[in-house]
Homo-oligomer: A and B are copies of this chain.
Amino acid sequence: MSTPRLRDVAERAGVSIRTVSNVVNGYARVSEERRARVEAAVAELGYQPNLMARNLRRGRTGLIALVVPELDVPYFAELTRAIITKARQQGYTVVVDQTDGEPDREREIVMGGAMAAMFDGVILSPLALSQTDLARRDNSRPLVLLGERIAESPYDHVAIDNVAAARAATEHLFDIGRSRVAAIGDQPWEGGETAQLRTAGFRLAHEARRRRLDESLIVTNRRFHHADGAEAMAALLDHPKGPPDAVFCYNDLLALGAIRTLLSRGVRVPEDVAVVGFDDIETGRYNTPSLTTVSPDKSTIAWLAIDRLIARLGERADDEPTELWAPYELAIRESTAG
């Protein structure tokens, strides 16, 4: 026999489908005797509600889309894990969509493509979408942004204070006696706003400590993978005015790539060049030397994002957008010890 429907259960239990629905959903008060009959029928038939029908009726699916650039970048993997966990605790299922940073894919889910209707809400870590795109968005479905890349928007967003974190990381390098500090990962173009904030913090640290900043020590990168950090570091080692004695990398992959280049060229870390990363991915803790890094509280980020999104699912959409700040700390390890 094919999958049983509400009607089949109702017939078997000798009640109306309304009563079965009430029992299954735990809605209204149902007499004890009828409830028992319905539950028996449900068990006997192995009834499972048809979610597609329920979704159509209710107008929602219980699905949340999480849109991230690259799942195999450990920071996103770790954050995704946290979000999936929190969402499930709230009864929502997360659909992970990886965009590879392609604008069209981000738009498909976020701006309201065909797929968009399947999701009650969206959490987006924007890479390609511009402020202009988002301003044009039909705001009928809740959207929570991760990161402070797009500061001015009609949406909630969850972030850490990138300027302060970058400044703290840089000042730490001054604190351990370094004077010629490079930065790897600046992105002075649209879409690179997060990197720009970190560069701002890097500059602020120089000002606060009254250090001269050699602009040629700020290296620009399209992507934030190991290979990019390795290349950038190689270029810095060949700097005409000599290599830096410390490097602040805008994520841990860049930092690990940079360390690889340093060690393979016989440069000691941290004795000759100290290295700080950003994200606090698991692997950095087991690298040799272990990696000093800015550690955003991913669990809090996940919690704030899910919590805010779910709140929006209940509220009017025109409430004030909120900025939610998650804490971070500087995890000091071997790559800057000494």
Residues of A within 8 A of B (CB): 48-53, 55-56, 59, 61, 63, 70-72, 74, 77-78, 80-81, 84-85, 93-98, 112-115, 117-118, 225-226, 230, 256-257, 259-260, 263-264, 282-283, 285-288, 290
Contacts and interface: CB of A to CB of B under 8 A. Distances in A.
Given A71-B71, A84-B71, A52 B286 contact: no
A78 B74 contact: no
Nearest to A53: B56
A302 to B, nearest CB: 12
Given A48-B112, A51-B115, A72-B282, 16 more contacts: A48-B113, A49-B114, A52-B118, A55-B56, A56-B56, A63-B95, A71-B71, A72-B74, A74-B283, A226-B286, A230-B286, A256-B287, A257-B286, A260-B290, A263-B288, A288-B288
A317 to B, nearest CB: 14
Given A93-B115, A226-B286, A71 B81 contact: yes
Given A51-B115, A117-B50, A287-B287, A93 B95 contact: yes
A260 B288 contact: yes
Contacts of A96: 80, 84, 94-96
Contact of A93 (B85, B97, B226): B97
A140 to B, nearest CB: 8
B51 A118 contact: yes
Contacts of A84: 71, 96-98
Contacts of A112: 48
Contacts of A287: 256, 260, 287
Contacts of A282: 72, 225-226
Contact of A114 (B51, B97, B226, B285): B51
Nearest to A98: B84
A63 B61 CA distance: 13
